[in-house]
């Protein structure tokens, strides 16, 4: 039966299934700027990667990280990379009955034929989708059961900064920036292949582990204390480090990816061309894992950004440019960047957006540049905490007056709707802190009506449950239970609705506390949580990030079953709502993100004292440890350059604007 050659297309088997599933176009491939290379492009030592974003196509295809790695790898003459995404349950059922394996959308090749399956996790709720993909690909679920010839499974992305939860299922984890790391792994695999693959799969994993930048769970032994806490995680092989270091790419201008962004055929969550304008953040928000683990700040230069925008628009035909980062308005030359781009594209259909804007970094000049081409979508700000006190605890240095000043400028300049994002369940939070959100929203509406002279002013309050994350000052805290979160949100909803005069202008969107508990279990879990993930998956758990597929009851029942078989006194609460002590060995302590654990603990004590800490970009160093330990430094402007040569595309130069569009 298996006469199929490795790397052959499965499309003939797949095609009959397409007319029986929802959104068949997501499985077809062939997007603008996608790549299908010859299977033996580099001869017998070709290194082949299947890159997976473990969610639906529409969420995965615009993901910047996956797109960058796809391009970086395909630029290697003797490597190739193709993409695969999670298949919806209707497709999964048909693939099982027809015997079609997990496939790539580029060449429709079997994922099990590739050397490496690289999975990028931006959220923990994608873990069950990995198991579906492994099973459909014919790759043994457990790393320990894989043999020579089986695909190597490597995890990356922000949710891999605690690789222990996935230890049963992945062969390795790469921590931090992927660009240089995937090239290093590729070179290592190529060398091993050219030597005749000595020592098989085990030798290859050992070589990866010995680089010091790849975590291979199989080469670490975990011992536990009688109460269930971890005693230590120790390497078992010579040359394998006690801690694995994160990768940090310096000089973003040297990595202007993606150069040829993918243009999805089907609808996706972001229909725009995105440029990452800087990486890292040193604002020091204590809840924010992304800000902590991506330090230090590394800015792309204004000229580098201008070139990427120009080339990206020519390569895609998109009409919106997203300037991405954790806090885009913090770029040292953001005013010049937005003005330069708005000047350049004035009179064309090209609009600019800053997906994340801090209240105190926003100003009306910036807003006007962003909307110069007539697009005036809603503005989103994230005060995160409802009261001034809680904002001091989380180090979100935004006062209520800052917020009111900013929104009044926005309403006065013609905006009608402002979205405000908050969290519920923050450390030390009380009901009163959360009820302050209602007062703040009412003040926003009153201000908006006053400055605009209009009644059709809207404010949308969006609120999510707080989940403590590894490598943050809150990594030790107990999470608020789902019931307590829900009770607090109900009180807030009632408080908003109680005022008829203003309440009708305030939209209220909230997530209940249940998904947050599952996310908390996975983000601060250890190897023993693998049994829970597997049990959930075997009982039908899929697409846990989608409310229509997520089942809290399934997770709780599966956790009960899995933990009942454990020799330790552990349960879901043990991982989520339990407070940890400073001395506890945490599962992610095997990962060196550069942050000193002592510094994180001190920052937690500062939070309890409601002490704010400045941004180290503009003040002396606070000794978080990242720069000396990672041999990195903050890279910021101003460069003093402008976006020249400046060709204004719309003013009497319609031919160029047309060219830009026909070019696509």
CA distance 130 to 495: 41
Average pLDDT over every residue of 429-437: 96
Question: Which residues contact residue 196 at a Cβ distance below 8 angstroms, ignoring those fewer than 6 apart?
Answer: none
Of 629 and 238, which is predicted with more confidence? Answer: 238
pLDDT category at 649 given cuts 50, 70, 90 is low
φ/ψ of 376, rounded to 5, equals -130, 70
pLDDT at 373: 66
pLDDT at 374: 61
Nearest one of 580, 539, 588, 579 to 559, comparing CA atoms = 539
Question: Which residues contact residue 574 at a Cβ distance below 8 angstroms, ignoring those fewer than 6 apart?
Answer: 228
Let me know: does 603 contact 613? Beta carbons within 8 Å.
yes
Q: What are 488-501's pLDDT values in tens digits? A: 999 999 999 998 88
CA distance 163 to 581: 21
Going by their DSSP bridges, the two strands 298-299 and 278-279 should be labelled as: antiparallel
Average pLDDT over every residue of 75-102: 98
Dihedral angle sign, alpha carbons of residues 342, 346, 350, 351: positive
Q: What is the pTM of this model?
A: 0.94
Domains observed in the chain: 10-240 (3.40.50.280), 272-374+594-663 (3.30.750.210)
Q: What are 592-627's pLDDT values in tens digits? A: 999 999 999 999 999 999 999 988 888 888 889 898
Tokens 């005022």 belong to which residue? Answer: 499
Q: List, in sequence order, the alpha helices (H) in 550-652.
A: 552-564, 572-576, 597-608, 626-630
Average pLDDT over every residue of 235-261: 95
Dihedral angle sign, alpha carbons of residues 393, 398, 401, 403: negative
pLDDT at 26: 94
Q: What are 169-219's pLDDT values in tens digits? A: 999 999 999 999 999 999 999 999 999 999 999 999 999 999 999 999 999
**For 474-489, what is the HEC assignment?**
CCCCCCCCHHHHHHHH
**For 381-399, what is the HEC assignment?**
EEEECCCHHHHHHCCCCCC
pLDDT at 65: 93
| Distance set, CA 469 to CA 120, 160, 276 (Å) | 18, 12, 24
Of 550 and 376, which is predicted with more confidence? Answer: 550
CA distance 257 to 70: 10
φ/ψ of 579, rounded to 5, equals -80, 135
CA distance 35 to 316: 15
pLDDT category at 269 given cuts 50, 70, 90 is confident
Of 326 and 643, which is predicted with more confidence? Answer: 326
pLDDT at 272: 87
**Bridge partners (DSSP) listed for residue 463:** 422, 510
506: tokens are 């305030």
| 158 SS3 class | helix
Measure CA of the first residue to CA of the last residue in the chain; give whole Å: 44
φ/ψ of 49, rounded to 5, equals -110, 135
pLDDT at 85: 97
What letter would DSSP give residue 144? G
**Quick one: which H or E segment has residue 53?**
strand 47-53
- The answer on pLDDT for 657 being more than 50 is no
Of 355 and 514, which is predicted with more confidence? Answer: 514
Q: Dmax of the chain from CA atoms? A: 77
Q: What are 573-585's pLDDT values in tens digits? A: 999 999 999 999 9
pLDDT above 90 coverage of the chain, percent = 75
**Quick one: which H or E segment has residue 655?**
helix 654-662
CA distance 484 to 478: 13
Average pLDDT over every residue of 48-77: 96
DSSP string, 527-546: GGGHHHHHHHHHTT---TTS
Going by their DSSP bridges, the two strands 320-324 and 298-299 should be labelled as: unpaired
**For 588-615, what is the HEC assignment?**
HHHEECCCCHHHHHHHHHHHHCCCCCCC
What letter would DSSP give residue 373? T
- 197-204: long-range pairs with CB below 8 Å, 24+: 197/148, 200/148, 201/146, 201/147, 201/148, 201/149, 201/150, 201/152, 204/152
Q: What are 438-471's pLDDT values in tens digits? A: 999 999 999 999 999 988 899 999 999 999 999 9
């Amino acid at each position: 039966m298996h006469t199929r050659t490795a790397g052959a297309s499965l499309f003939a088997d797949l095609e009959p299934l397409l007319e029986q599933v929802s959104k068949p176009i997501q499985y077809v491939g062939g997007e603008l700027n996608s790549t299908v290379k010859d299977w033996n492009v580099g001869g017998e030592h070709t290194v082949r990667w299947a890159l997976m974003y473990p969610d639906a196509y529409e969420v995965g295809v615009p993901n910047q990280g996956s797109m960058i790695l796809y391009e970086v790898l395909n630029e290697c003459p003797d490597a190739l990379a193709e993409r695969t995404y999670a298949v919806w349950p209707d497709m999964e059922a048909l693939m099982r009955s027809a015997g079609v394996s997990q496939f790539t959308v580029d060449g429709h090749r079997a994922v099990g034929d590739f050397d490496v399956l690289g999975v990028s996790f931006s959220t923990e709720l994608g873990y069950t989708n990995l198991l579906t993909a492994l099973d459909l690909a014919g790759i043994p679920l457990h790393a320990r059961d894989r043999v020579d010839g089986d695909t190597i499974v490597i995890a990356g992305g922000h949710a891999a900064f605690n690789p222990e939860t996935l230890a049963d299922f992945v062969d390795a984890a790469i921590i931090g920036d992927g660009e240089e790391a995937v090239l290093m792994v590729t070179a290592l695999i190529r060398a091993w292949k050219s030597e005749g693959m000595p020592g098989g799969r085990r030798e290859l994993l050992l070589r990866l582990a010995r680089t010091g930048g790849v975590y291979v769970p199989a080469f670490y032994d975990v011992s536990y204390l009688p109460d269930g806490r971890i005693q230590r995680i120790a390497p078992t092989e010579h040359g394998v480090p006690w801690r694995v270091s994160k990768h940090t790419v310096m000089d973003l201008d040297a990595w202007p990816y993606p150069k040829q962004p993918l243009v999805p055929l089907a609808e996706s969550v972001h229909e725009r061309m995105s440029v990452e304008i800087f990486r890292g953040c040193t604002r020091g928000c204590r809840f924010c894992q992304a800000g902590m683990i991506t330090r230090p700040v590394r800015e792309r230069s204004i000229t580098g950004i201008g070139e990427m925008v120009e080339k990206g628009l020519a390569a895609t035909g998109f009409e919106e440019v997203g300037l991405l980062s954790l806090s885009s308005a913090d770029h040292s030359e953001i005013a010049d960047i937005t003005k330069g781009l708005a000047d350049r594209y004035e009179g064309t259909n090209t609009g600019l957006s800053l997906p994340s804007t801090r209240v105190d970094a926003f100003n009306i000049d910036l807003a006007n540049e962003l909307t110069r081409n007539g697009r005036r979508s809603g503005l989103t700000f994230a005060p995160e905490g409802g009261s001034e006190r809680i904002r001091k605890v989380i180090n979100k240095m935004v006062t209520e007056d800052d917020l009111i000043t900013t929104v009044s400028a926005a309403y006065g300049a013609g905006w009608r709707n402002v979205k405000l994002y908050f969290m519920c369940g923050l450390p030390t939070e009380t009901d009163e802190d959360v009820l302050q959100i209602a007062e703040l929203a009412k003040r926003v509406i009153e201000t908006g009506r006053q400055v605009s002279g209009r009644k059709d002013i809207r404010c949308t309050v969006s609120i999510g449950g707080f989940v403590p994350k590894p490598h943050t000052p809150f990594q030790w805290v107990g999470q608020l239970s789902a019931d307590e979160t829900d009770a607090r949100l109900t009180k807030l909803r009632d408080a908003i609705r109680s005022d008829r005069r203003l309440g009708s202008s305030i939209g209220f969107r909230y997530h209940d506390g249940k998904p947050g508990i599952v996310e908390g279990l996975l983000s601060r879990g250890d190897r023993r949580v693998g049994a829970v993930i597997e049990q959930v998956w075997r009982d039908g758990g899929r697409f846990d990030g989608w409310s229509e597929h997520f089942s809290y009851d399934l997770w709780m029942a599966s956790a009960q079953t899995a933990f009942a078989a454990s020799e330790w006194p552990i349960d879901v609460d043990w991982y989520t709502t339990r407070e940890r002590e400073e001395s506890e060995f945490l599962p992610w302590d095997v990962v060196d993100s550069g942050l000193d654990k002592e510094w994180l603990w001190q920052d937690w004590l500062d939070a309890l004292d409601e002490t704010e800490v400045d941004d180290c970009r503009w003040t002396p160093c606070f000794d978080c440890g990242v720069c000396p330990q990672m041999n990195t430094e903050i890279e910021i402007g101003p460069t003093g350059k402008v976006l020249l040569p400046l060709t204004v595309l719309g003013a009497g130069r319609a031919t160029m604007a047309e060219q830009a569009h026909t070019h696509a």
